[in-house]
């Protein structure tokens, strides 16, 4: 798209016979900026979006300033900022004799947003074609590309080149090397470089602190942090993130409260930490405290709620953000879709689906697509879920499970089983989650023999040790089918401690099939495991009620009163 734009702009401004920039070359041989050129420079420095950069580019071409080295450099830097590396290359290719600075700018644009192989290829081109050999500005971006991919071999050879060029003692180069070795988990080499650096700034120190943190060495990280002559927000944030990732939210919070200045990263890091630890109250408190919020901050709060089973709150935060005209990114949309899945609302799902479709977000990214399929499946739009599923080039376990679960929820157990078979044919290896989904589907659809078959298959063919969940599924399956004794035998034979779900499933089955004796036994166990769950008491009293044993009904009710257990209205969906 940018390339097409460039072509049409060029065609419009030049005759077909002469190269588009031939005249401009002559005009700008003295590389000083005239007053009208300065206006373009001013435009570049106030440029805030790719759209406006494209407009400025057109102006540059029209004025014949395409060859101007300073303008070209600024232009390429902006391409880097807007992640438009292809656009950068297209513009670069029009520059007849790029100097080293321009080469460096192009390399930086690719280092951030292109694969390492592309960046390395570009670096090799630079070495052959640039009028000057690479300098201290060349290597930092190349190395950061190596760091991103943790490409030890490539980075090491770059290091060798740096030594040959005699650039190892440059702060920027040295810092990039420290970061590179850190990202490759070679803390020793990183530390050696750090100690050998004559000039260090807070970036070098921070890079070293991050090295320790990313290999889990909290103590040396903290003492280096304490030793630092200068710290800035990034340093504090890095240290806080280290504590968050190690699960020490108390230390993280102490630093957060202590730091002199906070930015959105500071808030987001801690909000995310609290949310992942399930402390949504603290997360929300900080969220409310944060005056500036970016997409990361909103996303942390939205997915925090979604991942902790509070879809309604996730939705509320999303709407608050939406009303502020902030553009959601893919992560926010994934959180939103996960909230919708939990709510199971078809209307909401349809709105979100069409919203995502019309937005400029990239739906084909696997996690977005997975969330979209999951949402549609769980909200009952199986047609849409299926067509999205079929559009996937390679299907994964997670997506198969989403679809199977969709069928299961909506009573089409046979289809879930069929899908499972197809999954096996595609040579995907089911894990314990897939079997939980499959067995649940079998139990919902009353497919007793299938369920038993797959339970055995799981143990024998896939060597998966059945979890309490798997047993609960099987107990439910057998119980619903009226095979209460078999279910009870299974629960008694469990090598793991049965959880309330298994007992509850059996108690429910006792109610359906009116087995009072077994019901009483089960209920007794269940009251031990889950003494405060009103549902269990209600279930037992209902078992009595079906057989008109009103005295026993009364006894259960009074037991509830004695224990101070209250029935939650409208919450009897087991």
Partner DNA sequence: CAGGCTGCAT
CA distance 466 to 427: 22
Question: Which of 89, 204, 405, 408 touches DNA (CB under 7 A)?
Answer: 204
Q: Which stretch binds DNA (CB under 7 A): 251-259, 328-336, 389-397, 528-536?
A: 328-336
Q: Which is nearer to DNA, 77 or 189 (CB)?
A: 77
Tokens 């063919």 appear where?
461
Residue 526 touches DNA, criterion: CB under 7 A: no
Residues that contact DNA, how many (by CB under 7 A): 65
Torsion of CA 451, 454, 456, 458, to 10 degrees: -130
Quick one: how far is CA 443 from the chain centroid?
33
Near DNA in 431-460, by CB under 7 A: none
The smaller minimum CB distance to DNA, of residues 5 and 172, is found at 172
Please name the residue that has the structure tokens 């102006």.
59
Query: How far is 466 from 257, CA to CA, in rounded Å?
Result: 46
**Smallest distance from the beta carbon of 244 to DNA, in angstroms?**
8
The smaller minimum CB distance to DNA, of residues 9 and 332, is found at: 332
- List the one residue from 269, 341, 345, 443 that touches DNA (CB under 7 A): 269
Rule CB under 7 A: choose which of 65, 90, 332, 417 binds DNA. 332
16: which DSSP letter?
S
Does 338 engage in binding with DNA (CB under 7 A)? no
Name which position in 67, 237, 402, 436 contacts DNA (CB under 7 A).
237
Structure tokens at 69: 């080295």
Minimum distance of DNA from residue 30's CB (angstroms): 7
Q: Per CB under 7 A, which region of 129-137, 217-225, 341-349, 406-414 contacts DNA? A: 129-137
Smallest gap from residue 135 Cβ to DNA (A): 5
Q: Give the one residue of 6, 162, 193, 207 binding DNA; rule: CB under 7 A.
A: 207
Task: Provide the CB-side half-sphere exposure for 498 (13 A, CA).
Answer: 25
- In 3D space, the residue among 24, 33, 79, 74 whose CA is nearest the CA of residue 54 turns out to be 79
Give Cβ neighbours of residue 59 (< 8 Å, ≥ 6 apart): 40, 43
Check: CB of residue 145 under 8 Å from CB of residue 108. no
Binder among 33, 363, 516, 534 for DNA (CB under 7 A):
33
Cβ proximity to DNA: between 33 and 468 the closer is 33
Map 403-435 to HEC letters. Answer: HHHHHHHCCCHHHHHHHHHHHHHCCCCCCHHHH
Per-residue contact string for residues 480-519; x = within reach of DNA by CB under 7 A: ----------------------------------------
Select the span of 227-235, 251-259, 366-374, 391-399 touching DNA (CB under 7 A). Answer: 227-235
Q: HEC profile for 426-462?
A: CCCCCCHHHHHHHHHHHHHHCCHHHHHHHHHHHHHCC
End-to-end CA distance of the chain: 55
Q: Which stretch binds DNA (CB under 7 A): 268-276, 277-285, 311-319, 511-519?
A: 268-276
Residues 53-92 as x/- pattern, contact with DNA by CB under 7 A: ----------------xx-xxx--x--x------------
Closest to 407 (Cα-Cα) out of 394, 416, 397, 399? 416
The two structure tokens encoding residue 393: 């080039």
In DSSP notation, 466-518 reads PPHHHHHHHHHHHHHTT-HHHHHHHHHH-SSPP-HHHHHHHHHHHHHHT-HHH
Among 22, 23, 26, 31, binds DNA (CB under 7 A): 31
Q: Do residues 337 and 351 touch, judged by C-beta distance below 8 A?
A: no
Chain residues that interact with DNA, rule: CB under 7 A: 31-33, 69-70, 72-74, 77, 80, 99-102, 104-105, 108, 111-112, 135-138, 140-141, 144, 147, 170-173, 175-176, 179, 201-207, 210, 232-235, 237-238, 241, 263-265, 268-269, 272, 294-297, 299-300, 303, 329, 331-332
């Amino acid at each position: 798209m940018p390339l097409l734009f460039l072509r049409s702009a060029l065609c419009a401004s030049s005759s077909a016979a002469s190269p588009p920039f031939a005249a401009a070359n002559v005009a700008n041989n003295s590389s000083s900026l005239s007053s009208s050129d300065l206006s373009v420079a001013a435009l570049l420095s106030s440029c805030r979006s790719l759209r406006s950069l494209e407009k400025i580019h057109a102006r540059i071409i029209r004025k014949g300033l395409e060859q101007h080295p300073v303008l070209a450099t600024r232009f390429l830097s902006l391409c880097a900022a807007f992640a438009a590396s292809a656009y950068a290359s297209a513009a670069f290719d029009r520059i007849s004799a790029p100097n080293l600075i321009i080469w460096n700018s192009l390399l930086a644009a690719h280092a951030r947003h292109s694969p390492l192989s592309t960046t390395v290829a570009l670096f090799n081109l630079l070495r052959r074609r640039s009028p000057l050999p690479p300098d201290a500005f060349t290597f930092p971006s190349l190395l950061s590309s190596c760091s991103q991919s943790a490409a030890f071999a490539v980075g090491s050879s770059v290091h060798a080149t740096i030594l040959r060029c005699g650039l190892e003692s440059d702060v920027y180069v040295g810092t990039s090397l420290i970061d590179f070795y850190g990202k490759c988990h070679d803390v020793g080499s990183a530390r050696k470089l750090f100690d050998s650096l004559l000039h260090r700034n807070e970036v070098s120190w921070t890079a070293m602190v991050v090295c320790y943190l990313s290999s889990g060495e909290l103590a040396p990280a903290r003492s280096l942090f304490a030793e630092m002559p200068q710290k800035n927000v990034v340093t504090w944030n890095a240290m806080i993130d280290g504590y968050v990732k190690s699960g020490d939210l108390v230390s993280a919070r102490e630093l957060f409260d202590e730091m002199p200045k906070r930015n959105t990263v500071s808030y987001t890091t801690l909000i995310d930490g609290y949310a992942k630890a399930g402390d949504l109250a603290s997360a929300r408190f900080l969220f409310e405290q944060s005056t500036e919020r970016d997409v990361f901050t909103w996303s942390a709060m939205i997915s925090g709620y979604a991942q902790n089973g509070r879809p309604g709150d996730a939705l509320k935060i999303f709407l608050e953000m939406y009303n502020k005209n902030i553009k959601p990114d893919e992560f926010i949309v994934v959180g939103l879709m996960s909230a919708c899945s939990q709510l199971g609302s078809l209307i909401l799902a349809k709105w979100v689906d069409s919203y995502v479709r019309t937005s400029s977000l990239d739906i084909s990214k696997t996690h977005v697509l997975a969330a979209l399929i999951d949402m549609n499946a769980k909200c009952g739009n199986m047609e849409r879920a299926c067509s999205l599923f079929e559009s996937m080039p390679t299907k994964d376990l997670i997506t198969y499970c989403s679809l199977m679960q969709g069928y299961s929820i909506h009573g089409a157990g046979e289809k879930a089983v069929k899908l499972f078979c197809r999954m096996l044919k595609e040579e995907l290896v089911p894990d314990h989650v897939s079997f939980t989904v499959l067995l649940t589907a079998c139990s919902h659809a009353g497919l007793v023999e299938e369920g038993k078959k797959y339970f055995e298959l799981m143990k024998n063919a896939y060597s998966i040790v059945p979890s309490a969940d798997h047993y609960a599924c099987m107990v439910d399956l057998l119980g619903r089918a009226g095979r209460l004794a078999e279910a009870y035998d299974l629960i008694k034979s469990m090598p793991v401690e049965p959880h309330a779900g298994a007992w509850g499933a059996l108690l429910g089955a006792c109610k359906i099939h009116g087995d009072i004796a077994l019901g009483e036994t089960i209920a007794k166990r269940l009251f031990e495991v889950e003494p405060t769950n009103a549902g269990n008491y209600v279930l037992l009293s209902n078992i009595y009620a079906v057989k008109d044993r009103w005295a026993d009904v009364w006894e259960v009710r009074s037991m509830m009163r004695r224990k101070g257990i209250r029935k939650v209205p409208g919450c009897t969906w087991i």
